[in-house]
Amino acid sequence: MNLDFASNADYFFALAPEILLSIWAMVVLLAGVRKESDSRPPGEGTTLGWLSLVGLLLAAMANGWLYGVTQDAPGAMITIDGFRLFANWLFILGAGLTILVSMSYVGRQRLQSGEFYSLILLATVGMMVMGGTRNLILLFLALETMSIGAYVLTAFNRRDRRSAEGGLKYFLLGSFSSGFLLYGIALVWGATGSVHLPEIGATVAAGAGLSGLLLAGMALLLIGFAFKIAAVPFHMWTPDVYEGAPMPATAFMAAAVKAASFVAFVRVFLEAFPALYESWYPVVWWLAALTMIVANLIALSQANIKRMLAYSSVAHGGYLLVALAAASQLATAGLLFYLLVYTIMNIGAFAIVMVVSGHSEERLQLDDYSGFGWQQPTLAVLFTIFLLSLAGFPGTGGFMAKIYLLQGAVDSQLWTLAILLVLATVVSYYYYLRVAWYMWMRDAPAETTEGAGYWAPIPVQMVLLLSAGVLLYLGIFPGGLLDGALAGAEGLGLAREPFFGFLP
């Protein structure tokens, strides 16, 4: 099937996954609406969770169908290319894992499950549009769809003060950064007369519109994206928000929301500003270096496991920025591969933390993991796999993902960043493996005899086993996924002259 967007009906086909998912989100919302005073049927969270997963399955099928669709309309607002389709898999997977993890959680915490799931689905729609659009205005709308969903999800547990605090902080800083982004869009439009990425790219490459106005617009776009991906020095909101949000929402934000921001970041900068690479490359270089160093050093001193994982997610953002600084097709493929592996291992790790933290989320300190390994061997082995993968230990998917990032960096001759990436990884071993050390090498405190508090329901077990299995598989046979990522990165990369120098 070929779409030329001559009639607006073509947009219904091009946007099939997103449209299906939005309709499904409304169905879930209406299926789950209850008055505050009404009693909730038991197991409602599980039923609605499976209902939401059906919607994600439909969207996944539509996404698979889009592989057979071609388009010959470079001016269309939405594109059907490998990058978008790969990113869609990423978001659908992230949302699906999150919903599986949260099924028992929403019941346990007495959250309003219909609203919770439909917000996740609608935020996913926003992400999918972010990954697929070539229009800056639509990009902004999609970003807001995603972000507003994420703000509400953060503040979702109304009985918890930390949740409300995190939600308000996220909302204020997030809207602030959206302002930067919007102003950047306005300035770029003012300088080039277009909000369409390939048109901007053509104008900039032709040398027209090159001015302080354009550079200022690009800088504001960069700041806006850096806020969203939580790159140091724009990372201040992350630990508080991640700590306060309900645990499945934290996993969702750390994985899918970050992935969506990265996907949009890469598309905007590689499609609209390849000609200005010399201008933005040093900034991305420093962002990557600072993020890797600072986030890993702060994570060393965290005793709260949720905050530790928050800083670890900031650090992973730094590794991913290396790929953007490298800006080759190989590096973009490495970024896609890394994002997929990162989504799986991060949600897995948060799922375990959720299981361990218990009914009212009180067991969140490192000490609470003392002797955990011998009490709950299965959970502890799985957690060890996720931690090793996050650290990038050979034999796990995280290792292969880091190898591809390094390969991209070395290929573009970013020697200093490559060395920093390796050093940062070595530092991160300490705080990941410290948790494993607590689990396996320390005795449980005498008074904790109630080990029955650890409760992993079947959907969570499914997520844990599946994620750990996929991580181990990708650690040994990464080829298939890499081919997919390379196909997804088609056309997104610059052929550039290698620089010879250790600093930008």
Partner 1 sequence: MAESYIPVLVLLGVSVVNAVGILAATHILNPRRPTPEKDMPYESGMVPLGDTRARFSIKFYMVAISFIIFDLEAIFLIPWAVEMRSLGWEGFIAVSIFMAVLVVGFIYEWRKGGLDWE
Window contacting partner 1 (CB under 8 A); options: 35-43, 160-168, 280-288, 400-408: 35-43
* Nearer to partner 1 among residue 26 and residue 422 (C-beta): 26
For position 33 contacting partner 1 by CB under 8 A, the verdict is yes
275 to 304, contacts with partner 1 by CB under 8 A? Answer: none
CB 347 within 8 A of CB 399: no
* Nearer to partner 1 among residue 115 and residue 243 (C-beta): 115
Partners of 70 in the β-ladder? 2
For position 443 contacting partner 1 by CB under 8 A, the verdict is no
Residues in contact with 332: Cβ distance below 8 Å, sequence separation at least 6, in sequence order: 83, 266, 270, 323, 408, 489, 492, 493
Using CB under 8 A, count the residues that bind partner 1: 9
For position 41 contacting partner 1 by CB under 8 A, the verdict is no
* Nearer to partner 1 among residue 27 and residue 487 (C-beta): 27
Q: For 319, what's the count of Cα atoms within 13 Å in the CB-facing half-sphere? A: 34
Please tell me the distance from the alpha carbon of residue 269 to that of residue 400, in angstroms, as a whole number.
26
For position 208 contacting partner 1 by CB under 8 A, the verdict is no
CB 95 within 8 A of CB 219: no
Q: How far is the CB of 491 from partner 1 (least distance, A)?
A: 32
* Residue 237 tokens, joined: 């909101």
Q: How far is the CB of 193 from partner 1 (least distance, A)?
A: 11
CB 153 within 8 A of CB 120: yes
Please tell me the distance from the alpha carbon of residue 342 to that of residue 354, in angstroms, as a whole number.
18
Please tell me the distance from the alpha carbon of residue 342 to that of residue 291, in angstroms, as a whole number.
17
Q: Within 10 A of 208 (CB to CB), how many other CB atoms are there? A: 13
For position 8 contacting partner 1 by CB under 8 A, the verdict is yes
Residue 127 parent element (H or E):
helix 113-132
Among 2, 36, 68, 449, binds partner 1 (CB under 8 A): 36
Window contacting partner 1 (CB under 8 A); options: 30-38, 124-132, 429-437, 480-488: 30-38
Please tell me the distance from the alpha carbon of residue 96 to that of residue 16, in angstroms, as a whole number.
18
Q: How far is the CB of 183 from partner 1 (least distance, A)?
A: 17
Q: How far is the CB of 78 from partner 1 (least distance, A)?
A: 16
* Alpha carbon 349 to its chain's center: 14
For position 35 contacting partner 1 by CB under 8 A, the verdict is yes
Window contacting partner 1 (CB under 8 A); options: 22-30, 246-254, 320-328, 453-461: 22-30
Residues that bind partner 1 (CB under 8 A): 8, 26, 29-30, 33-37
